[in-house]
Amino acid sequence: MGAYFSALFINQGGLSSVSSSSPSLGDLPESCVASIIGYLDPPEICKLGKLNRAFRGASWADFVWESKLPSNYQVLVDKILTFVPENLGKREIYSLLCTTNTLDGGTKKIWLDKSSGGLCMSISSKGLHITGIDDRRYWNHIPTDESRFHSIAYLQQTWWFEVDGEVEFPFPAGSYSVFFRLQLGRSSKRFGRQICNSEHIHGWDKKPVRFQLWTSDGQHARSQCTLNEPGKWFHYHIGDFNVENSNSSTKIKLSMTQIDCTHTKGGLCLDSVVIYPSKYREKLQQKGFLRC
């Protein structure tokens, strides 16, 4: 819609295509413009703010951006942002919450999606409880630019594979999907090209990996999936949960296990757990990143 307005009233030279004696967008009252653009997505609002003075002023209106912010945005501001200047406008608050913010010693990252205002969270491998992580015969932490945390946990070999996690957070009301971000094989670069070392990959075709999650209000979800396709990062869907009361924190416990001790398994990279609004599951599927 923003592109339509731009094309209609702005010619290629950047000037109004309407004569100076005719009514134009600049003649619209700012309050009227704000009421209209409030129906648009945040990126479209920002684009239209470049049209003229009326749209620029309307694109900063507090009531426009308050409708884009989560209902408990003030709770999120207090929880996420370490410092907030006084008298910030709602657009500035939205922008700060859309920036990736770090919590719990760098093990969690939280941000709002710029287009929808949906809350997203990522928990690093160092923020999870991994059985045997301190034994370097089995697990190692590896630095990498393939993770937003710049580090992943790499499993060489184990008999007992178990990863648990827990988070408590005031999620805004809505439906959320939870995923483990995993890759079979260890990536590296050779002569500037990305390659996958599959040396340690074994045992995942014997039995599926089981995923589970529980919430503090009694919700439970489970799934299972056979890990395959080395060299690609996939989001393995654990399950979904719903939040109705955004004024209180929701506690989530989750697990990933393959504890059949009749065989070993190895060659797995564990990046993180990610929590997205459930509608993002379709986007992951369209991009080919979704499993289970």
Tokens 């709002």 — which residue? 112
pLDDT value at residue 12: 41
- The answer to whether the beta carbons of residues 211 and 292 sit under 8 Å apart is yes
pLDDT value at residue 129: 98
pLDDT value at residue 27: 61
pLDDT value at residue 40: 87
To the question of pTM greater than 0.95 for the whole model, the response is no
pLDDT value at residue 15: 43
Q: How far apart are CA 216 and CA 214, in angstroms?
A: 7
- The answer to whether the beta carbons of residues 211 and 180 sit under 8 Å apart is yes
Residue segments in the chain with a per-residue pLDDT below the cut of 70: 1-30, 191-192
- Give the CATH architecture of domain 103-287: Sandwich (2.60)
Q: How far apart are CA 119 and CA 113, in angstroms?
A: 6
In this structure, the chain runs to a length of: 292
pLDDT value at residue 2: 45
pLDDT value at residue 23: 57
pLDDT value at residue 204: 95
Nearest CA-CA partner of 157 in 51, 268, 50, 251: 268
β-strands 209-215, 250-258 pairing = antiparallel
Q: How far apart are CA 174 and CA 195, in angstroms?
A: 39
pLDDT value at residue 8: 36
- Output the CA torsion 26→45→69→115 (10° steps): 180
CATH 2.60.120.260 spans which residues of the chain? Answer: 103-287
Q: Which structure tokens are listed for 157?
A: 């070999």
* Helix/strand/coil for 281: helix
Residues whose CB falls within 8 Å of the CB of residue 51, separated by 6 or more in sequence, listed in order: 5, 6, 9, 10, 25
